[in-house]
């Protein structure tokens, strides 16, 4: 790569990375607000909260990258044009392709990275996210205990505790169970902690008493320092794991496992989702071509490129929304899968036509502008 190519590549890379970081921060904030309700309701730790956010990011990054490429390309190319650096490139004998090739190379690298995410990283992270959310929603301590509230996790069972520490220690625990013949047994404990012995959940209680009213009306009370309570009768069966389309690998989308239900429906080849995984990275190439055409297409403008940039931004927005609409339509209309590739490719071709129309006259105009400047 020549020195000028490396320079142009760096000028494009910087704004693109900054745009990616800024948009990722906004996406993380939105995802944090979405996950906050679940985590607070289930009283999960900060590490679980962070894990949920990070595992959801790969799919968001795939959506962010084309926008970052568009924003970074517009900023970089507009600055290079404003500072007459592109004019100097043309005046030194560089062709139109040589000037734009660093931008195309950068978008191709980002598209490859995006493809890697859609094919492998996204399903891997989303499966881990699904497992984490199921674990959060079926957390035994969270389902049994609401600090300061009486809960009824099972018929005939009442549980109360004053507080639960972040490490899982339960304080001032009260458990009342209705036994046969209408008798009640009550367990009071100063502290408790959940443990698992194999698959059986156990509640280890410290410094308490077990009180039971006999059939003759006598209250029997037994104090203890340590007491193990089997919680298996209070625990519902773990729900079957059902992975969504976003959690599937490509081979599972094309040839789904008949024993694995997706979204609770009978498994069928989800070809539309598979095609969207392959076509999504193409938007990085088409949006970079759009950003280049906004400044370098249709000739030089002394009044700036604000109008062109606004038009290109609107075209990019309509294109991406249209892509989502086509993906949804492809579920019931398989032929529309071709349009998932055709939409970004068509935009890239139109942008390329603008870039390479009247190339010779545009180059002469750039050289004349430099000479008169």
pLDDT tens-digit map of 286-309: 999 999 999 887 666 666 678 889
User: How many Å separate Cα 222 from the centre of its chain?
Assistant: 53
Whether this model's pTM surpasses 0.85? no
Identify the weakest region by mean pLDDT among 125-139, 231-245, 255-269.
Answer: 255-269
Helices 3-41/46-82 angle, 10° precision: 150
pLDDT at 276: 93
- Flag whether pLDDT at 67 surpasses 90: yes
Q: Which two tokens stand for residue 127?
A: 């499966």
Of the chain, the percentage scoring pLDDT greater than 70 comes to 78
- Flag whether pLDDT at 161 surpasses 60: yes
Query: Please, what's the b/e burial string for 161-178 (b: 16 or more CB within 10 A of its CB; e: otherwise)?
Result: beebeeeeebeebebbbe
Q: How confident is the model at residue 48 (pLDDT cuts 50, 70, 90)?
A: confident
Q: Which of 279, 272, 280 is nearest to 245 (CA)?
A: 272
């Amino acid at each position: 790569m020549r020195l000028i190519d490396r320079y142009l590549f760096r000028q494009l890379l910087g704004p693109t990375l900054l745009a990616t970081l800024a948009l990722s921060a906004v996406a993380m904030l939105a995802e944090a607000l979405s996950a906050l309700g679940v985590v607070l309701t289930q009283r999960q730790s900060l590490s679980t909260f962070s894990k949920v956010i990070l595992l959801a990011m790969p799919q968001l990054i795939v959506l962010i990258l084309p926008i970052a490429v568009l924003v970074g390309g517009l900023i970089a190319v507009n600055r290079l044009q404003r500072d007459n650096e592109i004019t100097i490139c043309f005046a030194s004998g560089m062709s139109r392709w040589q000037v734009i090739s660093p931008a195309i190379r950068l978008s191709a690298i980002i598209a490859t990275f995006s493809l890697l995410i859609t094919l492998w990283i996204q399903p891997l992270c989303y499966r881990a996210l699904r497992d984490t959310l199921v674990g959060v929603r079926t957390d035994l301590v969270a389902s049994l205990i609401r600090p300061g509230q009486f809960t009824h996790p099972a018929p005939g069972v009442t549980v109360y505790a004053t507080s639960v520490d972040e490490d899982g220690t339960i304080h001032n625990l009260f458990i009342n169970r209705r036994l046969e013949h209408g008798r009640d047994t009550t367990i009071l404990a100063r502290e408790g902690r959940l443990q698992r012995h194999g698959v059986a959940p156990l509640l280890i209680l410290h410094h308490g008493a077990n009180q039971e009213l006999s059939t003759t009306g006598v209250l029997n009370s037994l104090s203890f320092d340590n007491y193990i309570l089997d919680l298996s009768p209070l625990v519902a069966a773990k729900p079957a794991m059902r992975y969504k389309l976003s959690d599937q690998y490509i081979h599972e989308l094309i040839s789904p496992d008949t024993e694995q239900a997706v979204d609770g429906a009978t498994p069928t080849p989800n070809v539309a989702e598979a095609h969207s995984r392959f076509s999504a990275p193409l938007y990085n190439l088409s949006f970079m071509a759009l950003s280049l055409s906004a400044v370098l297409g249709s000739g030089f403008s002394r009044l700036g490129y604000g109008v062109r940039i606004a038009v290109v931004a609107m075209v990019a927005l309509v294109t991406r929304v249209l892509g989502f609409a086509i993906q949804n339509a492809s579920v019931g209309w398989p032929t529309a899968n071709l349009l998932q590739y055709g939409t970004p490719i068509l935009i890239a071709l139109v942008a390329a036509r603008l870039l390479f129309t009247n190339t010779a006259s545009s180059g002469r105009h750039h050289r004349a502008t430099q000479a008169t400047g």
